């Protein structure tokens, strides 16, 4: 059974979930975290549901058995859509937080009634997303755009930036894909008939927010899920009596807050190290390579 001093597990298909981890660390400063980037099997958004579900079960088992996590944040919209109901069923004792595109928060801020939704094809074609969209379809006009390749381009941009030591060279592919998909969605702005709110339905996309902002203009609200997920995780820990007191995980003299976060990848170590340093400000020493074989999967 989970105990308050145990860490919180977080995983994504790659480095995109670091946007969720960043919000979690800010909201829960006394907690410990274990993050898994399944970059060796990314991108999930262009894989089938069976594959994504199998990886989700394997990583959940790894985090529970090897790190004894007290809660799990599935920091991936695609994995949430494909498998979170199965994880809830197989591990009912584990507090669990999943992701979904932030359509409902977008309804609270749109003024024109037109909302754009960017996401992976796996997320946007899922039954879970269809149900979510149907529940609010009469409240706004939603322009849904699958963004094939964008999450993977953002992953690659990290590795290229490390190799070339030049972020703008590395981000060329991301720029091009952002431009293609934003223009495919139509007109953005605050005028009648324009899209005035953009939902980022993939955790990777927040790391391209500067490119997206340049394309949609200053008047468009951009909605992502990091802070809402962090608040929901905090509420879930509180309701289960699993919050860590400030003194429980006190660090030994000389250690820093970065020691509260351990990060693992099934792919290239340099990619995770570069992303962790670039986006979280944590040292590369927090990162390690891990093997999470699919043979660990239980009944799915």
Give yes or no: residues 218 and 277 share one domain: no
What per-residue confidence (pLDDT) applies to 296?
41
Whether residue 250 has pLDDT greater than 80: no
Whether residue 207 has pLDDT greater than 50: yes
Predicted structure pTM score: 0.86
Q: Which domain holds residue 58?
A: 8-99+226-296
Whether residue 257 has pLDDT greater than 80: no
35-41 mean pLDDT: 95
38-49 mean pLDDT: 87
Instruction: State which of 223, 253, 272 marks the end of a domain.
Output: 223
What per-residue confidence (pLDDT) applies to 159?
63
Give yes or no: residues 162 and 77 share one domain: no
What per-residue confidence (pLDDT) applies to 259?
72
Tell me which residues are annotated as active site. 76, 202
Long-range contacts of 278-286 (CB under 8 A, 24+ apart): 278/158, 278/161, 279/15, 279/18, 279/19, 279/22, 279/207, 280/18, 280/21, 280/22, 280/25, 282/258, 283/258, 286/258, 286/259, 286/261, 286/262
CATH classification of the domain holding 290: 3.40.50.1860
Whether residue 288 has pLDDT greater than 90: yes
274-286 mean pLDDT: 91
What per-residue confidence (pLDDT) applies to 176?
95
Number of structural domains in the chain? 2
What per-residue confidence (pLDDT) applies to 47?
84
Whether residue 80 has pLDDT greater than 50: yes
What confidence tier does 72 reach under pLDDT thresholds 50, 70, 90? Answer: very high
pLDDT per residue as tens digits for the range 153-181 = 888 877 665 544 444 444 688 999 999 99
Give yes or no: residues 205 and 107 share one domain: yes
Whether residue 251 has pLDDT greater than 90: no
Q: Is residue 284 part of a domain?
A: yes
What confidence tier does 278 reach under pLDDT thresholds 50, 70, 90? Answer: confident
Give yes or no: residues 207 and 116 share one domain: yes
Give yes or no: residues 110 and 219 share one domain: yes
56-85 mean pLDDT: 95
Give yes or no: residues 235 and 196 share one domain: no
Give yes or no: residues 215 and 119 share one domain: yes
**Mean pLDDT rounded to a whole number for the chain:** 89
Q: Is residue 237 part of a domain?
A: yes
Q: Is residue 3 part of a domain?
A: no
205-210 mean pLDDT: 91
Instruction: State which of 182, 203, 223 marks the end of a domain.
Output: 223
Whether residue 77 has pLDDT greater than 70: yes
Rounded-to-integer distance, Cα 104 and Cα 13, Å: 24
Instruction: State which of 161, 190, 223 marks the end of a domain.
Output: 223
Q: Is residue 2 part of a domain?
A: no
Higher pLDDT, 246 or 88: 88
229-251 mean pLDDT: 84
Whether residue 40 has pLDDT greater than 50: yes
Give yes or no: residues 44 and 67 share one domain: yes
Whether residue 13 has pLDDT greater than 90: yes
What per-residue confidence (pLDDT) applies to 160?
60
pLDDT per residue as tens digits for the range 89-110 = 999 999 999 999 999 999 999 9
Give yes or no: residues 154 and 211 share one domain: yes
For residue 56, the Cα-to-chain-centroid distance in whole angstroms is 14
Give yes or no: residues 12 and 114 share one domain: no
Give yes or no: residues 240 and 192 share one domain: no
33-58 mean pLDDT: 92
Give yes or no: residues 95 and 107 share one domain: no
């Amino acid at each position: 059974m989970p105990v308050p001093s145990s860490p919180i597990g977080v995983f994504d298909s790659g480095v995109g979930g670091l946007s969720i981890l960043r919000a979690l660390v800010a909201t829960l400063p006394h907690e410990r975290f274990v993050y898994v980037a399944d970059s060796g099997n990314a991108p999930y958004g262009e894989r089938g549901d069976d594959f994504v579900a199998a990886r989700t079960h394997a990583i959940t088992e790894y985090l529970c058995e090897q790190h004894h996590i007290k809660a799990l944040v599935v920091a991936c919209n695609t994995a949430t859509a494909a498998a979170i109901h199965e994880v809830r069923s197989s591990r009912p004792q584990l507090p669990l937080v999943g992701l979904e595109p932030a359509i409902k928060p977008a309804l609270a801020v749109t003024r024109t009634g037109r909302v754009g939704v960017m996401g992976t094809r796996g997320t946007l074609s899922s039954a879970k997303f269809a149900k979510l969209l149907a529940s609010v379809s009469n409240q706004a006009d939603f322009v849904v755009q699958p963004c094939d390749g964008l999450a993977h381009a953002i992953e690659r941009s990290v590795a290229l930036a490390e190799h070339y030591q030049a972020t703008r060279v590395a981000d060329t592919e991301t720029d091009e894909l952002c431009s293609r998909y934003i223009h495919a969605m139509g007109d953005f702005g605050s005028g009648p008939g324009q899209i005035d709110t953009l939902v980022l339905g993939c955790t990777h996309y927040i790391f391209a927010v500067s490119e997206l902002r340049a394309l949609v203009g200053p008047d468009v609200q951009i909605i992502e899920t990091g802070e809402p997920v962090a608040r929901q995780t905090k509420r879930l820990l509180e309701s289960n009596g699993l919050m860590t007191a400030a003194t429980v995980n006190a660090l030994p003299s000389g250690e820093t807050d970065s020691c509260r976060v351990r990060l693992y990848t099934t792919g290239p170590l340099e990619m995770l190290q570069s992303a962790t340093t670039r986006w979280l400000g944590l040292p590369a020493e927090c990162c390690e390579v891990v093997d999470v074989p699919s043979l660990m999967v239980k009944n799915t």
